[in-house]
Amino acid sequence: MKASGTYRISNRARAYEACLEPSARSQRRIGRIVDSLRSQILEGGDSYRLRVRRILKDPREIYRLEIEVPELSFQRVTLLDRATLDRLLEPHEVRALVRGSILSR
């Protein structure tokens, strides 16, 4: 039996993030979210329904990315700004899958 208060650290890199300045923590978090979205889009291919819509134009462009997996009754909705959306669409494979799903730019 473990003594109270002794927990295994799941990811040591994240454990030291508290020592970083907030902007660096934010950029690492955004990077993890973008990587997760990219891998989910690529793993689903054409079987997932993807939708990208611009929901706000001023003062900053905000896009709503919807990934729907019908067989699992699952939907993931993420709000992204223009720079983060461009970062997500950098690989040609992801851009090809999302290209037909962008409703408004």
pLDDT at 105: 44
Number of compact structural domains in the chain = 1
User: What is the full per-residue pLDDT of the chain (105 aa) written as tens digits?
Assistant: 556 666 665 555 666 666 767 767 778 888 889 999 999 888 887 778 888 899 988 888 999 999 888 888 888 899 999 999 999 988 888 888 777 666 544
Instruction: Give the pLDDT score at 64.
Output: 92
Separation between Cα atoms, residue 11 and residue 25, nearest integer Å: 14
With respect to residue 31, please indicate whether it lies within any of the assigned structural domains: yes
Which tokens go with 82? 């223009």
**How high is the pLDDT of residue 4?**
64
Give the domain extent around 40: 13-99
Phi, psi of 50 (to 5 degrees): -110, 140
> Does residue 57 belong to any structural domain of this protein?
yes
For residue 80, which phi and psi values (nearest 5 degrees)?
-130, 145
pLDDT of residue 62: 93
Global pTM exceeds 0.85: no
Q: What integer pLDDT is reported at residue 47 of this predicted model?
A: 78
**Residue 7: inside a domain:** no
Q: Is 88 contained in some domain?
A: yes
For 38, other C-beta atoms within 10 Å of its C-beta total: 17
CB of 45 closer than 8 Å to CB of 97 = yes
DSSP 20: S
